[in-house]
Amino acid sequence: MRARTPVLAASLVLALAAGPLAAPALAAPSAAAVSAAPDRAARPDPVALGAALAGLPNADATAALVRVGGTDGTWRGSAGVRDLRDGRAADPNARFRAGSTTKVVTAATVLRLAAQGRVDLDAPIQGYLPDLFTPAWNKPITVRQLLDHTSGIKPGDGLGTTFEEVYAHRFDTLSPRQVVASALAKTPEFGPGEDQHYLNINYTILGLLIEKVTGRSYAATATRLVLRPAGMDHTYFPGTDPRIHGPHNRGYQAVQRPDGSTELVDVTEWNQADRWAAGDMISTTADLERLITALFRGRIVPGPQLEEMFTTPPGLDGATYSAGLQRLETGGKVFWGKSGARYGYSTLVAATRDLSRTLVYSVNTTDAKGTGSNPVTDRIIGAALK
């Protein structure tokens, strides 16, 4: 059966008419290049990367932060503004909503617990969380099938289906247990292991698994087992707090008015409690670069368990997701990474397995939850991963 997977780092393009938040004059990207690669052709292309960030803020994004690294050389760049109201230059060290890149941390936490013998990847999740599953869920779903999105569990309910609906509830709290209960009240989408469908619900349940086997909160365990060993000192899990603490660039969503024009709505403050272990992390590009580097070097997850992050489920045509990562092939190279999107913020972390090239970006796209591609993120990926 063919696996269903969304486009990596995709966002919808909207053409903006005049809005209530006037964009300031365009500023040239700020960039710094440092290369230590002996092969000049293999180094990051500073001209292409600078061009990828040119012209911000524009209709597609208000800011962008980019870090290209690895043994081939490094490049750093930023462009756009912190806030459309005052036009200050984007902070290259800003914190942002990292979205589904949270799943990399969640997967690494589960795999570390597996290495410690506290979680069996082949054991049914029903055995760990019997209070959550009704008798209707009589087919065993393994922990590994949650990690690689082959569980067959349908998505849980949210606080709306349109931007307008969820925006109206942006300060309300929907707990992870409520999300899971609504998902498990539905019939399975497919039998365990029969298909791959990328969904947040798998990682929300893994968050509950982490809490059950450790007796500690998800945030405390993930911080102890992953964030601290990786040196991610500027990353945290906000819980029900709608704010981004510390320096940050504001996020905006393009919304069409009744007259056909478009306004940019500030979506920076938002309670992300329902995203939780699937996508509520707040981080920086430097911290995400530390994460992917430490992870691929085996400093977070031991070798046998780390292989799970580079293994897609066998026998499923088109399956690209492993435990916490997604396989991407471009320019004749294979990258493993994860994209993430919350309203106002699009994120990507990716690397070759040998860490010859890494890419981390945070782009304040104007429709981060859209289903199409975004020209700014497309340009960054094209320039950084060639």
- Summarize pLDDT for 300-326 with one digit per residue, the tens: 999 999 999 999 999 999 999 999 999
Domain positions in the chain are 30-101+217-384
Bond before 57 cis per omega within 30 degrees? yes
* Contact between residue 350 and residue 328 where contact means Cβ atoms under 8 Å apart: yes
The 3-state secondary structure of 225-258, one letter per residue: HHHHHHCCCCCECCCCCCCCCCCECCCEEEEECC
Number of helices followed by number of strands (H, E) in the chain: 13, 11
Whether pLDDT at 255 is above 90: yes
The helix (H) or strand (E) run that includes residue 378 is: helix 375-384
Give the 3-state secondary structure of residue 128.
helix
Closest CA to 119 of 291, 266, 323: 323
What's the pLDDT tens digit per position in 124-146?
Answer: 999 999 999 988 899 999 999 99
Q: Find all residues with CB under 8 Å of 303, minimum gap 6, and list them.
A: none
Closest CA to 279 of 374, 372, 346, 185: 346
Report how far residue 144's alpha carbon sits from residue 202's, in angstroms, rounded to the nearest whole number. Answer: 10
- pLDDT for the residue 3: 59
Report how far residue 225's alpha carbon sits from residue 295's, in angstroms, rounded to the nearest whole number. Answer: 12
Mean pLDDT of the chain: 91
User: To which residue do tokens 């020209």 refer?
Assistant: 375
Mean pLDDT of 8-14: 33
Give the 3-state secondary structure of residue 161.
coil
Percent of the chain's residues with pLDDT above 70:
90
What's the pLDDT tens digit per position in 108-118?
Answer: 999 999 999 99
Report how far residue 52's alpha carbon sits from residue 50's, in angstroms, rounded to the nearest whole number. Answer: 5
Largest CA distance in the chain: 61
* Contact between residue 383 and residue 51 where contact means Cβ atoms under 8 Å apart: yes
Structure tokens at 17: 């008419």
Whether pLDDT at 299 is above 90: yes
Structure tokens at 91: 């902070």
Report how far residue 267's alpha carbon sits from residue 208's, in angstroms, rounded to the nearest whole number. Answer: 28
Closest CA to 48 of 333, 382, 325: 382
Chain-centroid distance of CA 65 in Å reads 15
* Cα–Cα–Cα angle for 137, 139, 140, rounded to 5 degrees: 105
Closest CA to 302 of 115, 147, 119, 143: 115
- pLDDT for the residue 61: 98
- Of the CA atoms within 13 Å of residue 249, those in its CB half-sphere come to 34
Sign of the CA dihedral with 179 first, then 184, 185, and 191 last: positive
78 burial via Cβ count (<10 Å: 0-12, 13-18, 19+):
buried
Beta strands in 185-318 (DSSP E): 252-256, 262-266, 282-283
What's the pLDDT tens digit per position in 63-77?
Answer: 999 999 999 999 999
* Contact between residue 151 and residue 192 where contact means Cβ atoms under 8 Å apart: yes
- pLDDT for the residue 230: 98
What's the pLDDT tens digit per position in 274-297?
Answer: 999 999 999 999 999 999 999 999
Mean pLDDT of 198-214: 98
- Under CATH, what is the fold of the domain 30-101+217-384? Beta-lactamase (3.40.710)
